[in-house]
Structure 1
Amino acid sequence: MNANIGDRLHVHGNVVGQADRQGEIIEVRGPGGRPPYLVRFDDGHQTLVYPGPDAVVESARRTEGADG
């Protein structure tokens, strides 16, 4: 998994009733865009994340051009 600053991290809930979480990657600490990532989640909470198989990185470059 590789990411850039500004990409979105989407973590799917893996327990029944657990909501998905989304946030912006504000810092990439691993070499070559690899984890860990400092993420600011939509609720304002910031934390260091080592994404598991329940996580997807959504490229900021892809979403910028989606409206036009």
Structure 2
Amino acid sequence: MFARVGDRLMVRSTHVGGPIRDGEILEVRHGDGSPPYLVRWSDTGHEALVFPGPDAEVQHFDHHVS
């Protein structure tokens, strides 16, 4: 798994038809983009250090440097 700051972490529910939880990646702790990530969850605004499991994926966005 690879992520950069500003990407979105999507976590599928373990229950059939359950919601997908998503959050903005605020911090990547390793230079190679591997977990863990500091994530702000969109549903609660809570920030947490996350070690994503196999039910997670990263939605990448274009990162423009100005």
TM range (shorter): 0.7 to 0.9
Corresponding residue number in structure 2 for 1:41: 41
Percent identity of equivalent pairs: 55
How many corresponding residue pairs? Answer: 62
Gaps (5+ residues) in structure 2?
none
* Length-normalised TM-score, structure 2: 0.83
1:33-57 Cα shifts (integer Å, max 9, x gaps)? 1000000010201111111110010
Cα deviation for residue 16 of structure 1 reads 3.8
TM-score by length of 1: 0.81
Taking only aligned residues, the RMSD between alpha carbons, in angstroms, comes to 1.6
Q: Which runs of 5+ in 1 are unaligned?
A: 63-68
CA offsets per residue over residues 1-20 of structure 1, 9 Å max, x none? 01000000000001246421
